[in-house]
Each structure stands twice: as C-alpha cells, then as structure tokens.
Structure 1
Amino acid sequence: MQASEPPAPDMNEVVGRDDLLLLTLDTLRHDVAVELAAAGRLPNLTAHLPGGTWEKRHAPGNFTYASHQAMFAGFLPTPAAPGPHPRLFAGRFAGSETTAGRTFVFDTPDLVTALAGHGYRTVCVGGVGFFNKQGALGNVLPGLFQESHWAPEFSVASPTSFEAQVACAERIVAGLPAEQRLFLFLNASALHQPNWFHLPGATREAGDGPETHAAALEYIDRHIGRLFAAMRSRRRCFAIVCSDHGTAYGDDGYTGHRLGHESVWTVPYAHFFLEPSA
C-alpha cells in the first residue's frame, strides 16, 4: 500500500531558520529502494523516513541533467497520485496551480540563487558526469552554486565514491562559521552504472543488475549517518532525499534511462528534519 503523502512544513519558516540538504541518490529505482527498506536492509535511512517507508513519486525528468534542472527550478519529484500537489519551492509565475501558502516562492530563475540571496552558503558536491566541471556542460549545474566540488573519487567509477563525497561534506560543514546557514546539495553517484563492484563476488563481465543496484544502496546506507550527523551538527536541518530518475535492467526489453518506462519515471522520495545533536 502506498503511504500517504507526508504533511509539508511551512517552507517560509524553514528557509532562513534551518540548514538545508538536498541529497539525490542518482539513478535509484523505486522498487529496489522499497524492497530494501521493507527488508530492514537500510537501517540508517529508514530511521529517518516518515513511517520508515519511501514515498512513491514521479521524476521531473528521465535522466540526470533534465531532472536536476527541474529540481533546481523548484520542481521536485511529484507524488504519484492525482493532484494538484503543493510544492515546497516554486518560482513566481502567473497561473501556477502548485504554489500554496506553505510554498517558498522565489523571484530568481532558480532555487539555488534564491537561497544565496537569503543568506545561505550554497555548495554542490557533484557525482555523475554532469557535475564533473570538465567541460562546458559539466559546469552548468555546478555553476549555479557559490561553491562546488568534484574529484575523480566522487565519480561513478569509484567503489568508494560516497565515502569520499561525505568526507568532503564534513569538511565543508566544519569550515563554516557557526552563524552561516548552509544549503548543501550532494549528488550520490554510487547507484549509477557501473555498480557491480558493490556486490561481493560480482564481476565486470557479468555487469550490473538489480542485485548490484541494491548492493550500491546498502553501501550508501552504511555511510549516510556521517552525512546526517554533519548536517545536524550546527542546527536543525531540513533534508530532502530522493532519486532523480530510475533505470531499467532489461525491463520490457529496456536498458538504462533517458527513456519513458515505469522503472525510470517512478522514484523514491522523502523529506524530514534532522534535529540538532543534544
């Protein structure tokens, strides 16, 4: 049974008061995320998911670049049920049917710039190639932020990518003045192919599949507590954890993403507060 949509906080109160975390688990399939949570294989994530379950949503794009452009404009994954569904963030434009009283409305072209204007330090910790800053295209999304980080050890080819990304995030938080609000965006690359090396005994020749995808999510769960601890270390943090799109592993003959299949469009989503350490 699909869990009910969690109540949305008043983002006009959250923005300016709390730190903000947007963690995209790049390429994470909804069915794999739900199965692992139900089986108790994601103890650190499910401890924070409302009701211990993922919310089923529809991605705003079917590959990383399109989906993140939409999310940075305020179009987070949409609840997978008839709407309209009020959004947490929205650019001001006439006729919007998903802007409500609790929506943080901004006048800039994107949310990142808007948060900078509200006194946030905006920081990107990149993962997949669209964040690698190694060409014009790889600079577009990181270029929205005041500060951005990418290194080969954050990439899809690294078996320790998430650990390296979390270590970077820890350094960022530790280096900020106590009074400085932070918007941290982290794009976790571990689930994106290749992910076979996260499953013991798997081989490059056998390639990726739902089992290696699941192993990559378990890998992220083993280290996500460090990220949450860093983000709650200074004040309360409002966290959004979601996938930007799924991916197909032979579903109905499809492989990969940037295509219109249920395995790609359906994503897991959650938002919650990380309360400050006692």
Structure 2
Amino acid sequence: MPPPSETHPTRGGSPVPAERPDMNEVVGRDDLLLLTLDTLRYDVAVELAAAGRLPNLTAHLPGGTWEKRHAPGSFTYASHQAMFAGFLPTPATPGPHPRLFAARFAGSETTADGTFVFDSPDLVSGLAAHGYRTVCVGGVGFFNKQGALGDVLPGLFQESHWEPEFSVASPTSFEAQVARAEKTVSELPADQRLFLFVNASALHQPNWFHLPGATKDAGDSLSTHAAALEYVDRHVGRLFTAMSSRRRCFAIVCSDHGTAYGDDGYTGHRLAHESVWTVPYGHFFLEPPA
C-alpha cells in the first residue's frame, strides 16, 4: 500500500464552503449524525480521497471531496467543547461564516438566517429540548467515563456508551462503535428523532496495527494514519445505513484536529501547527431507502 505524500495536496479537497441548509427546517424533521474522526489530518484525508482509497466516504462528500477547515481546538477536549457549543470547524477562507448551530447570545456575527439557535448552553441539550434522543458513542479517553474528566463530554447526552473495545488501543474499535450505533437505532421508537454523536478513535495514536506488516516498535506514521482512515471507510457505510434506515439524516463528518508526525520537528497535537489546525470537513444528507 503506497503511503500518502508528506506534502499538503489540494487535489481531492476544496476550500469552498459546502452548501448550507436551513437548519431550522432540518432540526425536528431529520435525524442528525455528528461523526468526528479524531485526530484525522487534512492532507492525508484529501490524498486518500483523490486516490480513490475512501470509496464509502467520498460517495457522500459533496463532489467527492473534503472541505478544508480550521479546527476550533488543538486537542479533543477543547475542540469538542467548542463543537458542542455550535462552533464546528471554520471554513479556511476569510469570513465571517454563518454557522449551522449557535447558542443565543447578543452580537454573534456568525448567527444568520438558517442557523438553528438554541437557548441552552450546548447543542446537545438544545436538541434534547426539541425532542431529540441524544446519544454518545465515545472513543478516545475523554469519553471513557472513567473519572470526572472522562464524564464531562458524555455527561451532556441523555445516553452514552463507552467500552474498552471502542478505545484507541483496539484494532477493531470502529466496528465495535458501529455495532453499538446500530443497536441504538434499532431500539428507538419509529417516531423518535435521534441525534447520534460518534467519536471514532481509530485514527488516534496508536494506529500502527491498521497497516499490514507494521510493527509496534516502528510506531505510528503517516502511512499507518492513512491505513486507519481506510479501515474506518470500510465500515462507515454500515453507520450511514443505520442512520438513514428510519428517515432522512443530516450528517456531519469531520476531524476535531490533526496531528503531527515529525512535521517541522513536532509530534502529536495540542500545539499550534498547520498539521493540527487544518482539518477535513463534510456535511450531507443521507436519504432513507425508497
């Protein structure tokens, strides 16, 4: 399997903002999915999409490409706190850019016609107030409910799930998360609207075990990061099918932040570098069976 290049390609991605639906029509009518591909780099996502290595994701991304955006935080906790307050990754072009969701507060320059405005301090409880069942399927440690910090983000939801099989250490994490999501959907009454959040942990270090022939001693690399994304792509179709099985679903798929693999001497995230701040993003509708 050829590795992605170590440059920052533009093919397979676009800085042009996606078409913005009127979220006041979407909320209350459709189910909602927020899938964060934790730690996914923009350059790797774009190159794999352009090379045809993400068939299930690109089948739904507008134009088959990722939109280039800037992360609202440089690590999982900060970024998700922002996203759950309505601050999704920002288009990587001069703004202001109207948002899909926003808490009501005076002076917001990114709340516009078509923005779903909520009166609670976070989107999750705002959707619950509009009749949604809010469900979290956690992945990385900030969602593991093993201690006070790991309870904060899952605690926003009416229902939350985390198991060791969902964690960064599991080579089958995304399969297990999708199975949990399928069970959640199957147990809901037909008329119950759902907001499902899934934090996919597979891209996060360690990810060496997703590349055949890679070893723990050699560690993680851009190539193993790419292999982890291909692994997610192989199973994401099941998640999309489940979420569109009852009615139309509005889906947001994005990274919360990237990560560095030696870029300019940096490794990891929670730091200010292009490889961390630039993320792939896409939103689209999943249509129910005819």
What residue identity is the alignment partner of 1:133?
Answer: K
Residue 82 (structure 1) aligns with: 94
Give, in whole Å, the separation in 1 of the partners of 2:167 and 2:193.
Answer: 27
Does residue 231 of structure 2 align to residue 219 of structure 1?
yes
CA RMSD in angstroms comes to 0.5
Q: CA deviation at 1:277?
A: 1.1
Q: Give 1:6 shift.
A: 1.6
C-alpha distance in 2 between matches for 1:111 and 1:267: 21
1:201-249, CA deviations, whole angstroms, 9 ceiling, x for partnerless residues? 0000000010000000000000000000000000000000000000000
d(CA) in 2 for partners of 1:16 and 1:96? Answer: 24
Partner of 1:62: 74
3-state SS of the aligned residue for 2:169? coil
Correspondence 1:46 to 2:58: yes
Q: 1:240 aligns with which of 249, 252, 259?
A: 252
Q: Which whole-Å CA distance do the structure 2 matches of 1:83 and 1:179 have between them?
A: 38
Matched residue type, 1:49: L
**CA deviations over 1:102-147 (Å, ceiling 9, x no partner):** 0000110000000000000000000000000000000000000000
The aligned residue for residue 95 of structure 1 is 107
- Give the residue type in structure 2 aligned to 1:222: R
1:45-98 deviation per Cα after TM superposition (whole angstroms, max 9, x unaligned)? 000000000000000000000000000000000000000000000001111000
Task: Give the aligned residue type for 2:118.
Answer: F
1:142-200 Cα offsets, whole Å, 9 max, x none, are: 00000000000000000000000000000000000000000000000000000000000
Alpha-carbon shift at residue 3 of structure 1 (Å): 4.5
Aligned-partner SS, 1:216: helix
Identity fraction in percent: 86
Match of 1:143 among 136, 149, 155: 155
Q: Is the 8 A contact 2:41 2:258 kept in 1?
A: yes
Aligned match for 1:11, one of 23, 27, 31: 23
1:167 maps to which of 156, 163, 179: 179
Distance (whole Å) between structure 2 residues aligned to residue 25 and residue 275 of structure 1: 22
Q: How does 1:155-234 map to 2 (within 5 A)?
A: 155-234=167-246
Work out the CA distance in 2 between the residues paired with 1:51 and 1:85: 21
Gaps of 5+ in 2: 1-9
For 2:251, what is the secondary structure of its paired residue? strand
> Superposition pairs for residues 266-277 of structure 1, below 5 Å?
266-277=278-289
Structure 1: unaligned runs, 5 residues or longer: none
Distance 2:17 2:162 in 1: 34
1:252 — aligned with what? Answer: 264
Asked if the contact 1:3–1:53 (Cα under 8 Å) also holds between the matched residues in 2, the reply is no
Residue equivalent to 2:5: none
Equivalence for 2:273:
261
TM-score normalized by structure 1? 0.99
